[in-house]
Structure 1
């Protein structure tokens, strides 16, 4: 038997977390709207423990827990739980073999008297929890006394600059240097996680932050912002002075993103533009010309991801992610491993990560449009890959709908990349269709598993997700084409996708809906404003309705430059003209509004205002308010309620012509 056949046998039959047995008929609205069963898997440095976040549903206890598995005994224990109402998990990671770091966030507010006036704003508090996985004791690295130095309590309290993996008692964290409490002029503290004592490790610089250390744990890089100019500051070891090595204007092609140091303290990696696409370069800091050595580039997409290090040599061996593939390795041995895994699990994006200190164990996250995500535990010697967890154990690939990449031409000639999901078992002909623009708008869809799109397809709709102008990932020209373009060509790109599907006979021209969250929610509302006779219905989840308010609320009036003015605009008349809330009288289609009360990305007032405007205009509007919910639908009850509301709404305004519905409550 070949290695690959053995590997496939292991993949299909060696499961730590049972996937269960389900049939297509078992899929319901709840199946698609439950939280992931397992996420955030990470190995301890020795490979003895496996941490993850897991969905908990036992009676009235609903939420997410941090779980730690002893890989020798296969015993699990839950070390931290949240019901996703008071706080939410953000990320988890190991400091060492015993201590697990867990980042959380909580919707919060500030109402503080400073000097002659009060400061009031809504924010999210980000905190770091430290869990001793042996004793299960939970602590925080800083004390309430430490925070009393600030007149306005800092919101970000989980910024780990360096975990100091070789120092069991300390970590480096960033906090504001002044008592203002804002994320400006950050300094680095060395914090004893046993005693919570904090000492200054690196002093602050005006308007500088994003501090990075080299592999010798010296603070060597920072980012300084002055108006629309960004400078990358680098500390020179010989002159012992800070130098501004790269300076660029925000949103320009001169942008440089620092990524990290190699083993050599003068070997530095950056992300910068190469032929209008972001690529990864290596730079020798001793070279006065700062010549860039191209390491990874893609002719079609920006290269994203972070550096991957060898835990043995400290050398940079790869980049964690690319737009259309898995991990990109520089190391030949890891390239060989990646190739073998890609061959054993074809037509998937396979990301190798969490490599143990002895290089013998690693994790792989594998997914595609129909696979919500399978986590594999791998070993080098012997070469083996075991499936240990599924993201959504009910949403088995064989029951999901296929997604294909397509391309269409917008009315002004711009090529638009999109992803089309066709309901499983149905011909791509005259289908009721949902346009599903992504949020951001500086984000992108890439054809990976999307539980929203799969839910809609399971109901019987064709779903189109398009990377309209302004989307990330396809180069600077495509991204910058969205500047000050809300409600204009960006909106036309969405409609032109629908018209392409109609022309191809895929979409029923009398059964087109539009749905989205955040910016996508804005696009849904603006769609039924601009073309009231085109869309049959619109769904906006945590969506923007008042662009004037959005810009006004996010604009810092004491600054001479605000990035949001360049992104969206600063002309009040134009901002009001692209705000759906001002044109409720034009809307003919039914509208569903869903919004979280604690949304810190787009305040719930946007949906309140839209609801009131539609009701005043005597339009068909349904409003669902989600209690104690932020922007991301992380509370399971709220997520299920959202999908039930969408299910009922679509059944009413865009019903599927079938005797037997596929998704049921």
Structure 2
């Protein structure tokens, strides 16, 4: 592996190549004018004695460690952050987390590492020597910090069993930490609160927050002393803010929204005009991410991704209005990739939802697959989707419905799916399929459904509800029994007030008053109604959806005499397996649909 250094003033000129050895480089950031910092991914073999059904077995498995190396570009001298401190290495596989690049202190960065005691600690690390000095200690539950001018003012701690996250703040970096927010880990993908950066006013931070009684997530100031929130600084009707753009000095530049592709609301309106022009450069087919900016906000590193672009990088010069191609994540033949578009779907009860439709290359009518996202309070975006493109490459159409209950469209939209698992949320998937089949002239006799997490549940429930529609269903880490899932959440909820359990009761239903509806919406209890072949996949170590959900679903289908395949992925959690495992699984998904559509 090597790193190419490109002169920003002459990007088409000769590149300087710096070898880094047999490691993958995950990120590359300037520490100062002379040193560059590289986060390396290093394979590590771990293992030990593991109990089995027949005794004790010695097992080994591969993990990934992360380390940061700084390199002096003039001398070639390197320094390993944290050096060879074996105590920290023993407790922290990830020694690659840089919290703050400290733009006013070019010789140091702030980094987090877990110490021998298990405590997460924040350190000031010298980029020339790698030596680390303690700034402060968190707890064994601390995940990370956020800082203003190098001072930690916000901290995230996970609960003991990992079911929720506490967010603490303090105004001066020295006072008592106070809880400002709490959210279930299930909601982290589209959280109701996240850090953005420093506000212009002292003692304030910029955050994205959805306050009580509000529909959308908006950018606003948070007073770190009083915990009071200011009015929205950036928001849109019925669309949540999805992220932000902050420069290397922590200055807020824009709020990000997906509508359905990436758009920014810039503080500097002139940048908005440039971003619209950038979208035009990519044919209005890509999400154009401003990944980095120089201090003058004149040169930008652009990362583009779209249905037919797995990720490409460019340097954009604002003054010259010029793009310079830098490289691509994966070089794929665009002729083998399918275009995608957003369509509006009128539901059977008069509502309107969005769906993303990926056509096979050439666009010939054929079979169609519903690819349902997880969450359920998550969403798809109109961008690169590996699963959708693999399915489309087989000549199949792919529909990704943003059913009511999805996140990202405001709380009002999400709440329309609460306690409607198994009916309204499934109906929206069916209505999106019906619209696309009708408008594109697709084969209504060859329809499949698949998804991960909630999407896996939706695949199973779809097979229960519509044996006439679906010819195959694939559930990846999906729920089969909602009542059992609620019982598990109740047993596992470590919060004093039942915070996590009550969250799921509000979304799925209350076993005391909604028992019949919960049972009716549980595919395991209705396995006999499924007619199509089913493939179940689950990671053995899944802590989000327990593996017994798929195991018991498999047992129920077999007991009912239904065609089912079950795959357990060892040493894996919630669909977090490696790419080689995913490749093998995708081959099985394609094989199942091919047989069903034959």
Q: TM-score over 0.5 for the alignment?
A: yes
CA contact (8 A) 1:103 1:129 kept: yes
1:556 maps to 492
1:27 maps to none
**CA 1:106–1:418 in 2, change beyond 3 Å: closer, same or farther?**
farther
1:650 maps to 593
CA distance in 1: counterparts of 2:70 and 2:579, whole angstroms: 28
Alignment match of 1:73 (pick from 5, 15, 27): 15
Matched, 1:269 2:206: yes
Alignment match of 1:459 (pick from 373, 394, 418): 394
**CA 1:288–1:610 in 2, change beyond 3 Å: closer, same or farther?**
closer
Alignment match of 1:213 (pick from 144, 147, 160): 147
**CA 1:457–1:49 in 2, change beyond 3 Å: closer, same or farther?**
same
CA distance in 1: counterparts of 2:171 and 2:48, whole angstroms: 36
**CA 1:175–1:390 in 2, change beyond 3 Å: closer, same or farther?**
closer
1:516 maps to 451
**CA 1:557–1:339 in 2, change beyond 3 Å: closer, same or farther?**
closer
1:164 maps to 102
Alignment match of 2:292 (pick from 323, 343, 354): 354
Q: Deviations over 1:262-311 (max 9, x none)?
A: 4654453221349622222346779997543x432222411111332265
Shift of the alpha carbon at 1:389? 2.2
CA distance in 1: counterparts of 2:502 and 2:82, whole angstroms: 38
Alignment match of 1:337 (pick from 274, 281, 286): 274
Alignment match of 1:479 (pick from 414, 417, 421): 414
**CA 1:551–1:157 in 2, change beyond 3 Å: closer, same or farther?**
farther
CA distance in 2: counterparts of 1:165 and 1:349, whole angstroms: 29
Q: Deviations over 1:187-211 (max 9, x none)?
A: 6444557777655424558988753
Shift of the alpha carbon at 1:450? 1.9
Q: Deviations over 1:455-489 (max 9, x none)?
A: 32232222210112221110012223334544343
Shift of the alpha carbon at 1:579? 3.9
- Residue aligned with 1:302, SS: coil
Alignment match of 1:369 (pick from 304, 307, 314): 307
Alignment match of 1:235 (pick from 139, 153, 171): 171
Higher relative contact order, structure no. (Cα contacts within 8 Å, ≥ 6 residues apart): 1
**CA 1:581–1:95 in 2, change beyond 3 Å: closer, same or farther?**
farther
CA distance in 1: counterparts of 2:6 and 2:500, whole angstroms: 40
Shift of the alpha carbon at 1:418? 1.0
1:392 maps to 330
CA contact (8 A) 2:450 2:474 kept: yes
Residues 30-429 of structure 1: pairs in structure 2 closer than 5 A = 72-75=14-17, 77-81=19-23, 93=29, 95-96=31-32, 97-102=35-40, 128-133=66-71, 134=76, 143-146=85-88, 159-167=97-105, 170-174=108-112, 181=118, 188-191=122-125, 199-202=133-136, 204=138, 211-214=145-148, 216-222=149-155, 233-235=169-171, 256-262=193-199, 265-266=202-203, 268-273=205-210, 276-282=215-221, 291-292=230-231, 294-309=232-247, 311=249, 315-319=251-255, 322-323=258-259, 324-347=261-284, 348-357=286-295, 361-380=299-318, 382-396=320-334, 398-426=335-363
Shift of the alpha carbon at 1:222? 4.1
Matched, 1:529 2:472: no
**CA 1:210–1:49 in 2, change beyond 3 Å: closer, same or farther?**
farther
Point out where structure 2 has 5 or more consecutive residues left out of the alignment: 51-61
CA contact (8 A) 1:556 1:562 kept: no
CA contact (8 A) 2:80 2:130 kept: no
Q: Deviations over 1:632-659 (max 9, x none)?
A: 566343232222212221221113xxxx
**CA 1:187–1:372 in 2, change beyond 3 Å: closer, same or farther?**
closer
- Residue aligned with 1:449, SS: coil
Shift of the alpha carbon at 1:538? 0.6
CA contact (8 A) 1:266 1:284 kept: yes
**CA 1:610–1:144 in 2, change beyond 3 Å: closer, same or farther?**
farther
**CA 1:629–1:205 in 2, change beyond 3 Å: closer, same or farther?**
closer
Point out where structure 1 has 5 or more consecutive residues left out of the alignment: 1-37, 51-69, 83-88, 113-123, 656-665
Matched, 1:611 2:551: no
Question: CA RMSD, aligned part only?
Answer: 4.7
2:582 maps to 639
Matched, 1:497 2:432: yes
Shift of the alpha carbon at 1:589? 0.4
Once structures 1 and 2 are overlaid, which stretch shifts more, 595-604 or 359-368? 595-604
- Residue aligned with 1:545, SS: coil
Q: Deviations over 1:578-610 (max 9, x none)?
A: 443343322210112334456555455444443
Shift of the alpha carbon at 1:130? 0.9
The count of aligned residue pairs is 563
CA contact (8 A) 1:79 1:131 kept: no
**CA 1:147–1:460 in 2, change beyond 3 Å: closer, same or farther?**
closer
**CA 1:641–1:187 in 2, change beyond 3 Å: closer, same or farther?**
closer
Q: Deviations over 1:546-582 (max 9, x none)?
A: 5456555565344322425423457396766644334
Once structures 1 and 2 are overlaid, which stretch shifts more, 442-451 or 577-586? 577-586
**CA 1:171–1:547 in 2, change beyond 3 Å: closer, same or farther?**
farther
- Residue aligned with 2:470, SS: coil
CA distance in 2: counterparts of 1:48 and 1:79, whole angstroms: 28
- Residue aligned with 1:442, SS: coil
**CA 1:634–1:404 in 2, change beyond 3 Å: closer, same or farther?**
same
CA distance in 2: counterparts of 1:399 and 1:126, whole angstroms: 32
Shift of the alpha carbon at 1:438? 0.9
